Amino acid sequence: MFQLLWLVVAIPFVSAVLLALFGSRLPRRMVAISGAGSIGFTAALTLLIGAEFITSPPAGNAYVQHLWIWMNSGGLQPEIALYLDSVALLMLLVVTFVGFLIHLYSVEYMLGDEGYARFFAYMNLFVASMITLVLANNLLLLYLGWEGVGLCSFLLIGFWYPDPVNVRAASKAFIVTRVGDTAFAVGLFLLSTRLGTLDIQELMHRAPVQWNSGSGIAVAAAGAVVGRSSWQICANAASNLVAGRDGRPHAHERTHSRRDHGDRGSLPDCTHARALYAGSSRSVCGGQSLELPRCYWRPSVRLPSVI
């Protein structure tokens, strides 16, 4: 079953291409079968591979599938290769099974939308990019999967593009992630020049040697590549917050800073809300506070009656 690992990536990617090219000509039933069925088949295949991994683990508890050499330039030979260990298997199960449930729900939820096939093409490509990111044997292939995830996020955020608010939100998310990805690329260049490889397992062996020899910049670059993901989560949260607040309060949000509900519960004032949000974001984002742009909105939350 390990030899079929490449199908886990190929099936959702091929389905995404077919839906993008021919989805508008297919009946919605066929679109649903291709969109959700491909992810369901991928999840079932992942389960079979996981069962074999548990019952008959490969040598060293890791399986590497070398498909082909991506490029050969200046001694750098990144491969299109997949690496499966226990951690990658766990994340692969999460991506495929949760992705299948989302696709299954979307079959009925998106049924009346004009962009039915386009939506499933985006979602299939999203899952294929996530699987590439999880199974990548080297950082360059991981970077390709990460960029695919960023592209699909942009496409899905702006899916209903006739609404200018959605277009602005997608553009802001795209710009913020590209700024972070630039630093990611710089880290890859540093690792390549200092350590001579982008293979993840080989980097883990060479980095301690470089650190002990006093060349800490390569290890710092590796830390930047890893730490960039956590900061990206915080940056995306801030971007989505700003994108969704254009000065017009939503229907479910209160327009007054304090309102009594008759049970001694009231909303905090603007200053207190800022302090609460800054404290919570500081604890999540490594001590860096994310401030609200303006206090023209109030969360639709009622404090407990014990206050």
pTM of the model: 0.69
User: Of 126, 61, 54, 50, which Cα lies nearest the Cα of 91?
Assistant: 50
CA distance 140 to 12: 21
Phi, psi of 64 (to 5 degrees): -115, 125
Token pair belonging to 1: 């079953």
Q: Measure the CA angle with vertex 173, ends 167 and 179; round to 5°.
A: 135
pLDDT along the chain (307 residues), means of 10: 93 96 93 96 96 93 92 81 95 96 95 93 97 94 94 94 94 90 91 86 82 56 49 43 42 42 45 49 47 44 42
Q: What pLDDT, on the 0 to 100 scale, is given for residue 75?
A: 73
The residue type of 297 is W
CA distance 297 to 307: 22
Phi, psi of 76 (to 5 degrees): -95, 120
Query: Are residues 157 and 170 in contact, defined by beta-carbon separation less than 8 angstroms?
Result: yes
Residue 81, helix vs strand vs coil: strand
The burial of 10, by beta-carbon neighbours within 10 Å (0-12 exposed, 13-18 middle, 19 or more buried), is given as middle
So where are the chain's domains? 1-157, 163-244, 254-307
Query: Are residues 290 and 238 in contact, defined by beta-carbon separation less than 8 angstroms?
Result: yes
H-state helical runs in the chain: 5-22, 28-55, 86-109, 116-135, 139-157, 164-195, 200-212, 216-243, 270-284
Q: What pLDDT, on the 0 to 100 scale, is given for residue 196?
A: 82
Q: What pLDDT, on the 0 to 100 scale, is given for residue 300?
A: 44
CA distance 95 to 49: 14
Q: What pLDDT, on the 0 to 100 scale, is given for residue 241?
A: 39
